[in-house]
Structure 1
Amino acid sequence: MAFIFKNLPADRDDLRVDVLSGLASSPKSIPPKYFYDDAGCRLFEAICRQPEYVLCRTEQALMAARMPDIAAAIGPVDCIVEPGAGECAKVRLLLDTLHPTHLVVMDIAGAPLAAAAEPLSRDYPDLAVTALGMDFIHDLEAAMPYLPAGRRLLYYPGSSIGNFPPDAATALLARFRLLAGAEGQLLIGFDLKKDPQRLHAAYNDAAGVTAAFNLNLLERLNRELGADFVTARFRHYAFYNPSAGRIEMHLVSLVEQDVNVAGQCFHFALGETLHTEYSYKFRCDEFSAIAKTAGWQRSAEWEHDGFAIQLYG
């Protein structure tokens, strides 16, 4: 059919505003959505190939094994909507089985998204593909004019919902509810609570790819905000906090130092951390309670090897 790419500009200089605000906070933090420049996207794809990071492979194996049941539970859909689609690889299983007429994908990294989404329109000639380069976390409602009429399935795989604290996750799922429409559904994958050592290893791979991914955030700030971070003065630090049920990822300052970012100076004490990501892990009943608060009703669930996929309507 057709391929359309739209780069939807933000209504503010999000990177500058969010970074300066985060660095002025105590403790310092930067939203994880800013990991995903071109280099960050490539590094994340490499993380998914590391032997310690089984999340993506487990999810795709579960999807492949249970696809007949998943498709039967979903029923006919006209449009699949995937926020944070990245390389657009995971949605192919659904396209092969559900045969929708429209696919709408969105991601903050617009150019990589366009490059990944355009081949879908060639591989699925009866599919109309719309790729939206946008910060869907901040501007989700801007996608509404690009959604066709008909029954929609929102697809949010990869435990991306785990990047949000519970209140923020609830708020995002409520906005997904509005985007899906009255007859819409949500198919979502999330990581389950499990052996802390297994979780720790997944975010501290032996090859150091996750560390490079984390440190690339500083390189991005150097490139795009005129910052003067010296990455050798910071160390990747990730650990599982079992009482909070989450992985915490930080960059630790190895020295006392001042860093300039967008014309402002920020002091880092020795050992001070810059928080870059949470990755919450759930029990199935915990997640269902969050989704219910956001207006979703669970209709089906599949689980394998510490990962769950749930369907909501």
Structure 2
Amino acid sequence: MSTSTSAHPVFDQAPATESFREAVLNGLRREQKQIPSKFLYDERGSKLFDKICELDEYYPTRTELAIMREHGAALAEAVGPEARLVEYGSGSSLKTRLLLERLGNDLAAYVPVDISKNHLLESAEALAEDYPSIPIQPVCADYTTAFDLPAPPRPARRTVGYYPGSTIGNFRREDARAFLAQIADTVGSDGGLLIGVDLKKDVEVLKAAYDDAEGVTAAFNKNLLRRMNRELDATFDLATFEHQVLWNEARGCIESHLHSTTAQSVSVAGESFAFEKGETIHTEDSHKYTLDEFSSLAARAGFDVESVWTDEQSYFSVQHCTVGNQTR
């Protein structure tokens, strides 16, 4: 299904609204209440995340941008000529623009994929205006599940996935492997992947990045409560929940929670849920990797890591992977 816009059609494969309802109810019924992090990114959530990316404490964005500026020619060479570039998650497109400028008119198509249709449209329209010679084919879909790619308007030599940021860290290790394997299936035997991978570092640096002084990350996390109130007739009192960040050494990840400051009962979609004082809703994981750890994970998903670019402090990496012959 496609939806017409002033610039181009949107290939609409958005999930039914019931999927949010089911995920929330199933998650809140668990002993450790949890909701998948992908539901943080409604329209308001996506815009708040863009603000997070501009914060001083949030090193991943500026570090990745610096890597891309310094190594842009090598990154474009890794993608190769006449490629179809599929971006998993359409953000503010700062990094995308750096890549598109390097790839130029030779790109067969740019396919941004995002679950937030309005945010996707805004990004796609802006890019279409600034890069009129590059075919842009936005796809509204939950990219963590299988979705169809539109046929490119001109022949593509290969398909390359693009997954910037540290979003791969939102997946548990085994889920990350399954997601990467899905990308490998999508891009095919001659395909590739450019991916941002956040690296392990001082814990205090990590905690500050996910709990900023201005409270933007807290607003981003608590926006999930707003969304449930709006879409699921929930009765969350935002004043009784706090944003909480923990470092889990055993799992190698930052955990984000919504912490109930009092004992209370909340209704969601007609179902009642009790919260003890101090009980949390686990909303997001941000796993960090060593280079060897990610290479091993990629191999189990069917990818070979061909090239790695990092900053001077080794805070962050951009990696180019190609589909290999490993057993998944």
* Aligned match of 1:293: 300
State the SS of the aligned residue for 1:136.
coil
Which letter maps to 2:92?
E
What letter matches 1:308 in structure 2? Answer: S
> Contact 1:77 / 1:153 at 8 angstroms: preserved in 2?
no
Classify the secondary structure of the residue corresponding to 1:278: strand
- 1:46 is matched with 51
Q: Deviations over 1:223-267 (max 9, x none)?
A: 000000001111110122223210000011111111000010001
Shift of 1:284: 0.6
Give, in whole Å, the separation in 1 of the partners of 2:301 and 2:66.
28
Which range moved further: 124-133 or 283-292? 124-133
Match of 2:214 in 1: 207
| One-letter amino acid matched to 2:318 | I
3-state secondary structure, aligned to 1:61: helix
Q: Which residue of 1 aligns with 2:317?
A: 308
SS in structure 2 opposite 1:3? coil
After superposition, where does 1:18-167 map in structure 2 within 5 Å?
A: 18-99=23-104, 100-138=107-145, 141-146=146-151, 150=156, 151-167=158-174
84 and 202 in structure 1: CA distance in 2 versus 1, 3 angstrom threshold? same
RMSD, matched Cα: 1.4
Q: Is the 8 A contact 1:102 1:127 kept in 2?
A: yes
1:255 aligns with 2:262: yes
Q: Which amino acid in the other structure matches residue 112 of structure 1?
A: H
Pick from 243, 249, 266: which aligns with 1:242?
A: 249
Structure 1 residue 127: deviation in Å? Answer: 1.0
Q: Counterparts of 1:13 and 1:60 in 2: how far apart (Å)?
A: 37
**Per-residue deviation, 1:122:** 2.0
SS of residue in 1 equivalent to 2:71:
helix
For the 8 Å contact 2:68–2:95, the answer to whether it is kept is no
Following TM superposition, by how much is the alpha carbon of 1:87 offset from its aligned partner in structure 2, in angstroms? Answer: 2.4
Q: Distance in 2 between matches of 1:208 and 1:110?
A: 26
Q: Structure 2 regions of 5+ residues with no counterpart?
A: 1-6, 323-328
CA gap 1:77/1:185 in 2 versus in 1, 3 angstroms: farther
**Aligned residues of 1:87 and 1:113 also touching (Cα < 8 A):** no
- Alignment-derived partner of residue 170 in structure 1: 177
Instruction: Provide the TM-score with structure 2 as the length reference.
Output: 0.91
Shift of 1:143: 2.4
User: What CA deviation, in whole Å up to 9, does each residue of 1:55-86 have, x standing for no partner?
Assistant: 11100110110112222333224211001112
Q: Deviations over 1:185-218 (max 9, x none)?
A: 1000111000000001111110011111111110
1:234 and 1:253 in contact (8 A); partners too: yes
Give the conservation status (yes or no) of the 8 Å contact 2:11–2:150.
Answer: no
Q: Specify the alignment match of 2:288 in structure 1.
A: 281
Query: In the aligned structure 2, how far is the partner of 1:159 from the partner of 1:144?
Result: 24
**Residue 90 of structure 1, CA deviation:** 1.6
Question: Identity of counterpart residues, as a percentage?
Answer: 43
The correspondence for 1:17, drawn from 7, 17, 22, is 22
Q: 1:11, CA displacement in angstroms?
A: 5.4
Give, in angstroms, the shift of residue 10 of structure 1: 1.9
Asked whether the 8 Å contact 1:5–1:131 carries over to 2, the reply is: yes
5+ long unaligned stretches in structure 1:
none
1:183 matches 2:187: no
Distance 1:128 1:179, change over 3 A: same
Rounded Cα–Cα distance in structure 2 between residues aligned with 1:263 and 1:76:
54
- 1:243 & 1:258 partners in 2: Cα distance? 32
Confirm or deny: 8 A CA contact 1:153 1:185 kept in the other structure.
yes
- 1:125 and 1:43 map into 2 onto residues whose CA distance is 28
Whether the aligned pair in 2 keeps the contact of 1:3 and 1:128 (CA below 8 Å) is no
The SS at the match of 2:147 is helix
Matched residue count: 310
